[in-house]
Structure 1
Amino acid sequence: MLEKGYLLAKRYKIMKLIGRGGMADVYLAQDIILERHVAIKVMRGEFQNNSPLVRRFQREAIATSELSHPNIVSILDISESQGMQYLVMEYIDGSNLKDYIKENYPISMNKVINIMDQILSAIKLAHQHEVIHRDLKSQNILISQTGVVKVADFGIAISLGKNAVTQTNSLLGSVHYISPEQAKGSMATKQSDIYSLGIILYELITGNVPFGGETAVSIALKHFQENIPSIRKIHPEIPQSLENVVLKATSKDPEDRYNSVSEMKADLDSALSASRVNEPKYEPAHALKADDTKVIPDLSGHVANLTEEEREETDHGVEKEAPQEEQKPKKRHVLWFVGAGLVLFFLIIFLVFKVFASNGTMISVPNLENLTQEEAQSQLTAQGLAVGAVDEQNNSTVEKDKVIRSMPSANTQVRSGTKIGLIISSGPGLTAVPNLVNQNYDQAKEVLEKAGFTVQRKDQTSDSVDKDLIMAQSEPAGKQVDASKTTITLTVSTGVQKIKLRDLSGYSEKSARDYANEVGINLTIKQDYSDNTPEGQIISQNPNAQVEVKKGDNVTVTVSRGKEPTYDSSSSSQSSSSNNKLITQSFEIDYNDDTAVNGKNHIQIYVGDSLNNSRNLYRDEQITQDKNYNITFNLAPNTNGSIRIVRDGETIINQTVKN
């Protein structure tokens, strides 16, 4: 393993390890010449002298470098340094599709189609260049943070135009995505890639691969013995037309699959169309043929003992010579079952024979958990075993540099001298804190606890955030932390605070205004004569006392002008009053964001006429947008009125209203 800071080929400065595959490590590095981040795939030291694996490693670089496409990872450099084979690729800042599905499931159907369209576009180009990927799986598909999909790892791709790779009976590619013909040992074709694409589409829709099992053999058998589980039984809301794309792509017989990736893409792109709502379920035209049944390549030993997760990361099988052509039986259906039974029977006999025919002594693998690598090696040596490949893995429960598990696992019977792989803890991995603001608390709490965080709740009232929604979080979104040691406090809204209105009858205008400022409501002042309420005191309010309102709501109060004056019929003033003129004018007030407080402008209006003293407040309220005021002036003969409008303490209108 290359250390941080190591300068490869005097150009690529190693920054960190970002992935481990079956035979190579992938590092994030800095190209010090072009000053950019790159991903470097370096073949592990134990494989450097293995000529077939070196050729395979070089084949990946050659196969990929010939393909220039926005959805295929670009190869920037291929070379060797101090005996190390390496290739330099563009760095994709994101995750692989397997992790993306785990983190984002369920995924909208439109997003599923968008992701698949990008993958199909990449494989279309590869097939046009007569290159078959043969290892399509969600771990080999990368997604950048901007949503761009990149197909990677053409390490076992074959070129139909080259004669160097023509052997059959090779079980290559991850067994969860492998086509039935590959599982039986036949040569991979473009339809084999289409089958794998169908499995990936199934996984995007359901969140899981269709077939699982305890061993690679059991999973491979399911690919050519069992039908793909019904998507619509899991998700009835999925249209039949979309399930049909999966069913056709994953047909057991290659003749029933799409003729090309382009055909699959066209069918997928119209799968959500209204015209295909009542489409019948796809039924393949061909049944699996008994004469196609072949013996599955030997998958015993290391691969058979891997966990399911580890098998997903491993390429299975080795290349063997092509078998002689079998004669076609006349009774196909009967012999199909016989053939399948014979596969299992001879496989079991073969495994048993390997165990008992071995000259080596059978030894039980010791429990190596929580030991250092040195301690584990000592125990293995004492038992007559040896240390095999050593891999690192993040783990929040096993101390750094201690063994998480062995491969094969503890208590497995193996021969004397067998190499035992070790998975060593590299300490807890860092987790990005998600953005939880405005999310439902219960849902956010579940997400955090699944990721290993400890969650605390803090309740708080809010003027704008609905009940049970998160207002703030103690750790910022995007921060990388050790989830097992991090507590996140979520501030949760208890809802918009309600105010039960006080009875303002008899309050002075100033007292009412002080109350409004205290509880956070807007107050509108009106004036009227009253025989019972002294001048300057509040006669009535709207809404009434004890009614619940929210902060920012408007409340109107009517202030007494005292008793209405009476006039002698001979009085000139009475004559004058009867001749008063009513004039209505409109005033447009613009909302000013620069002076607003909490998104509101404070508007105060002063009116001078026969009924209003220009020194007294006529209207007082807050606005959040432009507003038009229609003001009616009561003007005596030969007198003018006045109006002054103040916005956030600044007079914006001050004019005379002429009679």
Structure 2
Amino acid sequence: MINKGYLLGDRYRIIDTLGEGGMANVYLAEDIILQRKVAVKILRLDLQKEPQTLARFQREALATSELSHPNIVMVLDVGADHGLPYMVMEYVDGPDLKDYIRTNSPLNLRLVIKIMDQILSAMSLAHKHNVIHRDLKPQNILMDKHGNIKIADFGIAVALNQNSVTQTNSAIGSVHYMSPEQTRGGLVTKQSDIYSLGIILYELITGHVPFNGDSAVSIALKHAQEPIPSIRKQDPEVPQALENVVLKATAKDPRDRYHSAKQMQDDLDTSLNPSRANEPLFNPTHGNNNDETIILPNFKPNSKQKEEIKEDQTNTENMTENSRPKKASFTQAMRKHKWWWLFIGFAAVLIAGLMIFVLTNNSRKDVRIPDVTNLSEKKARNELENVGLKVGRIKHKSSDSIDQGKVIKTTPPAGSQIKRGRFIDLYVSDGAGMVKVPDVTGDEYEIAVEKLEKMGFEVIRENQFSASVPPNHVIGQSIAADVEVKPTQTTITLTVSKGKNDRAKHHMIKLPDLKDYSLKDAQEYAHKHGLTLQVSSAYSSKVKKGMIISMSPAAGTEVPRGSTISISVSEGQKKERNLTAIKNFTVSYENNDEDDSDNNRGNHIQIYIADDNHSIDDIYRDLYIKRDMNFSIPFQLKDGPGALKVVRDGQTILSEKVKNG
């Protein structure tokens, strides 16, 4: 065990223990450089000298680091502390799927599919990279506060207990979710993971696993010999098509299962469609593959467990014998009660006719608009057409929460009752929208704020004396006009005039025309005269790269010493954006000064970036903040990785590389 407060690798301070496993322990830690919480998996001290265990740990780090997917826990760092291997992962603040099911069962079937889609999407990528999880179960699937799924524990086992069995050099997994071939010591393939996925889907629908028992042996026998208990007998509201997805994924013979996680996902996504309402029960083509003996590698049952295996097999044989139909008795009953059978047949025809009449009548009634949010345009169209609706106009709009090409909403909205055959308009996402910052210099502060907030910007006010700008009017803005940014991730600081400062008349400075200056020359001038520069950048086909495009206040204006001058620096002619990375980060405000007067401008923030168009030696943004501020900075990275450095009051608080994608 690692003590709380220990600084791992000179960077990760241990806060608490998240879990203790058979081979590794997981801790909550703080990254003291990036100031964020992370999860750290550390190999147990007593196992660090075991080559096989160390190899498992290294395989997990290698496998997971190659899997970049929003539904797979991201590996942030791998290292060793005094010879003790550790792996740093993103911290998921939320329950595991087992706890979520236990708390919220029964789940809405559409929610079940939404959760399972994320799991299948992640496993589809893993299998594409030939990574087999081997231990898929709800305890290894995390869910954050927003309902996003994160699969963890690739390639290394968790705590061993009475309900876990080992497959030599292949897998360690929970027997409740283990495929029959795993319990026999057979070859573990992608279809073995698909079996586990089928059991997870079963549990999402029903709230419990299909098989339980007093020991791992009895549960393993049930997986290998008994059919999956019928979901529809427990809940007739579950469509046969959805149960069929479970049955196909959990077929005893791997050849009867889905060939890929993607194939299972595609089948699952249409399982609630009305067109599949009368789908027949799934039947495997390769039989149940019921072996009389299951061999569990490295597992030696004692005399009691041997007797348990024998008893389980005897019970299974008796169940099979008792379930055989009595043909002779059935024939005798038919002869004896033939009039009753004729009456039952007539009643069945009458009921069938009544059902046809009801269904035909219902076809003319209103239908409920399905929720097609986050579906592709094609899938949304299929969903609507399957309930008898038509797709009308396709409208596009920006969205920070819905991926490009996916449906944002419908008009009328989902859940509304509407006549069959009516048209439904779809709003499709164009992705996160970039907008041009408007020019609000000279505007009254209230008008400027209203204009910016309507566009989604967050606005901060800073007051400053000005001899040329009327009181309560904007002197300058922290981001120059026409710069393209994401409004929801950008804060704009407005410098607002307090009017003339009569006491500072002898300190007034008449501003030169900085358009003839380079950025470096402008910085030297500002430093010499006690001025502060707020620097932004913009493309220009007329002004040479590195030269000043515009300034605010204008040239010739008299300003008091200590004033802030906003300048826009040319990035040269705009190039084609082949590769752009958006770096989002937050700079926190530290109130280290007891001065609450208007002269206290807060923390001095300087941002430096390196990409295809900028040098790390030049200031990219220069501003003061009096509260935490979010930044969204685009990097042009066609020629390789970039870099970001943030300095607060002379101290570097962030320094890291930036990669595209």
For the aligned pair, the TM-score class normalised by the smaller chain equals 0.3 to 0.5
**Structure (1 or 2) with the larger CA radius of gyration:** 1
The TM-score with structure 2 as length reference comes to 0.43
